[in-house]
């Protein structure tokens, strides 16, 4: 239960808190971008079975590979991609925590 609360809390609540706290002037726009980080889970559609509660996403799905994560880690260093990079890394963090709690 705790695993799922942390995983989905990081996916859906933490982005809103980060946006409100750090980007107060544009928090709604930033929150939507941070929440859009969940879209990298579209790569789960290519997995068989589609959903496996005991499968770690990190290193398994194409957009969750170590190469992709390294690319996501570069994005925050450039102003135009800073928030997108934060969104993707936040998503990866949630998935990594989920893997550690399995």
> In total, how many domains does the chain have?
1
Q: Is 10 helix (H, G, I), strand (E, B) or coil?
A: helix
pTM for this model (two decimals): 0.93
pLDDT digits (tens, 9 = 90+) for 81-94: 999 999 999 999 99
Contact 33, 87 (CB under 8 A): yes
Residues 6+ apart with CB under 8 A from 83: 23, 30, 33, 34
**pLDDT confidence of residue 84:** 98
Cα–Cα distance for residue pair 46/53, rounded to 1 Å: 16
**pLDDT confidence of residue 1:** 87
**pLDDT confidence of residue 34:** 98
State which residues form the domain around 49: 2-100
* Residues of the chain with confidence (pLDDT) below 70: none
Produce one character per residue of 49-71: b if its CB has 16 or more CB atoms within 10 Å, e if not: eeeeeeeebeeebebbeeebbee
């Amino acid at each position: 239960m705790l695993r799922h609360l942390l995983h989905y809390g990081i996916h859906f609540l933490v982005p809103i808190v980060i946006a409100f706290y750090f980007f107060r002037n544009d928090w709604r726009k930033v929150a939507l971008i941070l929440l859009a980080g969940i879209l990298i889970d579209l790569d789960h559609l290519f997995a068989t079975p589609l959903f496996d509660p005991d499968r770690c996403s990190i290193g398994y799905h194409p957009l969750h590979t170590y190469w992709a994560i390294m690319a996501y880690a570069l994005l925050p260093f450039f102003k135009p991609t800073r928030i997108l990079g934060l969104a993707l890394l936040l998503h990866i963090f949630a998935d990594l925590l989920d893997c550690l709690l399995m």
